[in-house]
Amino acid sequence: MTSRPRLGTSLLRLFTVQGSWNYEYMIGLGVGVAEEPLLRDLPGGPDGAAYHAALGRGAHFFNAHPYLAGLAVGATARAEYEGASPEQIERLRTALAGPLGSLGDRLVWAGWLPFAAGLAIAGVALGLGWVAVAGFLVVYNVGHLALRWWALGAGWRYGTRVPTALHHPGLRRAAAFTAPAMAVSLGLALPLAARYLAGPFGAGSRITLAAGVALGLVLLWWRPGNLTGLRLGLTMLAAGLLVGWVWR
């Protein structure tokens, strides 16, 4: 086995893991690209049969949360060194895809990201301006970088025993923190954002705004014809343009 795994190179490549995202392989090619530096010390080196076979497997279909994809990259590369069979490697990848996707979505997309975004919105609305924006980038990316680095390291450390890493107490604590933190942060942000955006409007416009929000909520709640926020925005803009034009 390699005495000094190229985890740094692999981590850098993981930042591009979704670069060739497509509907057939999803992030499979990106995972293969990130795994490649870790495979160079397989018997025979980069010209050997083991390297080529492992790389071919590494680039098969795969999908997971991009920040946690390193766990699969490290684990499958380690499994290649441990002499796992191609079938075992495929089973490992298949077993990891679902949990890494759902855990990452819950932890990051539905937790850490809206938590940080809510704080940033509240900060700007409270007059912090640039400090809030810079704070958002710092706070979010501390978690982001820590998760990526931990995932790759844990995958490499555990190899085929990587499901153990998913029971890491730190992950449980993070999940227990991010969900309530997200709820509090967004709850804090919404009234502040409303006050901030309504600030320049006159009294009549604010009443119209409140009625518009209520109407929008009712429409989005019912979701007629798969109404999305974007479609609601376009519809309300068209209505605003029409009303403004008629009453000009």
Q: Which of residues 201-240 bind other proteins (CB under 8 A)?
A: 201, 205, 208-209, 211-217, 219-221, 228-230, 232-237, 239-240
Size of the site for other proteins (CB under 8 A): 101
Contacting other proteins within 31-60 (CB under 8 A): 32-33, 36, 46, 51-56, 59
Contact code string over 58-87 relative to other proteins, x by CB under 8 A: -x---x--xx--------------------
- Looking at 6, 9, 21, 149, which residue binds other proteins (CB under 8 A)? 21
Q: Of 128 and 157, which CB lies nearer to other proteins in the complex structure?
A: 128
Contacting other proteins within 141-180 (CB under 8 A): 141, 144, 179-180
Q: Is-contact 189 125, C-beta < 8 A?
A: yes
- Looking at 1, 4, 224, 245, which residue binds other proteins (CB under 8 A)? 245
At residue 37's C-alpha, the angle toward residues 40 and 159, to 5°, is 85
User: Can you read off the two tokens belonging to residue 107?
Assistant: 């932890």
* Residues in the chain, overall count: 248
Contact code string over 92-131 relative to other proteins, x by CB under 8 A: ---------x---x---xx--xx-xxx-xxx-xxx--xx-
Distance CA(3)–CA(141), nearest Å, equals 30
Under the binding rule (CB under 8 A), the answer on residue 190 touching other proteins is: yes
Q: Of 30 and 158, which CB lies nearer to other proteins in the complex structure?
A: 30
Least separation in angstroms between residue 187's CB and other proteins is 2
| Residue among 145, 171, 162 nearest 12 (CA) | 145
Least separation in angstroms between residue 161's CB and other proteins is 25
Buried b or exposed e, range 182-201, using 16+ CB within 10 angstroms = beebbebbeebbeebeeeee
Q: Of 161 and 207, which CB lies nearer to other proteins in the complex structure?
A: 207
Query: Any bridge partners for residue 62, and if so which?
Result: 26
- Looking at 2, 20, 88, 160, which residue binds other proteins (CB under 8 A)? 20
Q: Is-contact 95 163, C-beta < 8 A?
A: yes
Q: Of 165 and 185, which CB lies nearer to other proteins in the complex structure?
A: 185
- How many CB atoms sit inside 10 A of residue 5's CB? 20
Q: Is-contact 69 34, C-beta < 8 A?
A: yes
User: Can you read off the two tokens belonging to residue 230?
Assistant: 């974007």
Q: Is-contact 152 219, C-beta < 8 A?
A: no
